[in-house]
Amino acid sequence: MFLRFLGLVVLLNLVRYVIGFLVEPWVIFPGLFHAMEESSAYFNTSFETVDWVTSYLYNFGVWLVPAWLFHLARPVVRGTDVIASLKVFGILLVNFAAISAVYMNHYSHSRDFYLWNILDAVMMFAVVGLANGLLYRRVMGPFARSA
């Protein structure tokens, strides 16, 4: 079961980056990078290999947690797998946005950075939540849980 779940999370990360890289350069990156440039003293913009590796590991965790919570909660969340997945991912999106807003309120650099991240999260949590609902049974097979 662990390997199937790990495979699901890898697929969700691939979906996130493939769809993200198709949409984010047009919708998110211009505003996000502008906000980062306005507060360049706060941001590390010259990533080295270790920075990229840790960033992707952290992001792997961003999608591991909602997929895990979905798997645990699936027996009690009503609706199809897609609807149930969007519900679970939606709850974690609200949590992400709330934490981002707390940080936005505590730092002196541009609030735009956090707002762009929240908008990005709205898009990506919806995309990955949809993908999770569509892939869950296919990947988890006999280990998939039902409502």
Full DSSP string of 74-118: GGGS-S-HHHHHHHHHHHHHHHHHHHHHHHHHH-SS-THHHHHHH
What pLDDT sits at residue 45?
Answer: 83
Q: What is the total count of domains within the chain?
A: 1
Ranges of residues in the chain with a pLDDT under 50 are none
**Cα separation of 147 and 32, whole Å?**
39
What pLDDT sits at residue 109?
Answer: 81
What pLDDT sits at residue 108?
Answer: 84
CA 84 to centroid of chain Cα atoms: 17
Contact 93, 122 (CB under 8 A): yes
Domain encompassing residue 129 = 2-143
What pLDDT sits at residue 58?
Answer: 96
Q: Which residue has the tokens 């730092």?
A: 107
Q: pTM here?
A: 0.94
